[in-house]
């Protein structure tokens, strides 16, 4: 016993000391969105096109009417069509010729989250709204555009709400109580109907 106790103690100290040496490579899970709604609820507040793109990772047709409008828009701010969070401004807008709204950076509000997307046999970086998880588009880099970042946020126009400079920003969707959100999160996972309040 005399030798066993110090050995056990030594092992304990060893474990404690080395617990902090564990590699810190665990990628942090992306922050959960603040706004959680069921698919049915999103369908009620979005048009079919907006729903398909933002909630089902869809892609709008390039060079469509929305893109033509985008090209004409002047100074202003671009908000999330789902929750009203500020995403981009005209200061970061540039003409890439790709047929989708392009920005070289997100706005200072930092509401654009980037995450790896391995769908369609490609490794791309998806961009989503940090507040509500809306799919916005993708971000590409190193394409040689003469912009300050050489990054191209290739964004679906239907995911954006444009407000000209000096205009009234859209109403920011506020989260419901933690209980209601939690229930909706569970329902959303199962793809079912909205719970009755
Ligand atoms: Zn949003």
Which uninterrupted H or E stretch holds 114? Answer: strand 112-117
Ranges of residues in the chain whose predicted pLDDT is under 50: 1-2, 5, 13-27, 196-197
- The model carries a pTM of 0.78
Say how many Å lie between the CA of residue 1 and the centre of ligand 1.
63
Q: What is the pLDDT of residue 8?
A: 53
Say how many Å lie between the CA of residue 157 and the centre of ligand 1.
14
Tokens linked to 5: 């106790």
Q: What is the pLDDT of residue 178?
A: 75
185: left (phi > 0), else alpha (psi -120 to 50), else beta? alpha
Q: What is the pLDDT of residue 187?
A: 74
Catalytic residues: 154
Tokens linked to 108: 């200072």
pLDDT tens column, 40-67: 999 999 999 999 999 999 999 999 999 9
**Structural domains of the chain ordered from first start:** 39-190 (2.170.150.20)
pLDDT tens column, 120-136: 899 999 999 999 999 99
């Amino acid at each position: 016993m005399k030798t066993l106790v110090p050995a056990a103690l030594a092992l304990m100290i060893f474990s404690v000391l080395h617990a902090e040496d564990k590699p810190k490579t665990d990628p942090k899970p992306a922050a959960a969105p603040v706004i959680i709604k069921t698919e049915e609820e999103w369908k009620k507040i979005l048009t079919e096109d907006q729903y398909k793109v933002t909630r089902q990772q869809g892609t709008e047709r390039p060079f469509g009417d929305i893109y033509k409008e985008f090209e004409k828009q002047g100074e202003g701010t671009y908000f999330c069509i789902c929750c009203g969070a500020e995403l981009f401004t005209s200061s970061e807008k540039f003409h890439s010729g790709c047929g989708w709204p392009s920005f070289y950076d997100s706005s200072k509000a930092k509401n654009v989250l980037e995450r790896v997307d391995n769908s369609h046999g490609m490794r791309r970086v998806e961009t989503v709204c940090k507040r509500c998880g809306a799919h916005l588009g993708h971000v590409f880099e190193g394409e040689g555009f003469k912009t300050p970042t050489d990054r191209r946020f290739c964004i679906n126009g239907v995911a954006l709400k444009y407000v000209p400079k000096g205009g009234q920003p859209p109403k920011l969707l506020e989260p419901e109580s933690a209980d209601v959100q939690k229930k909706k999160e569970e329902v959303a996972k199962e793809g079912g109907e909205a719970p009755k309040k």
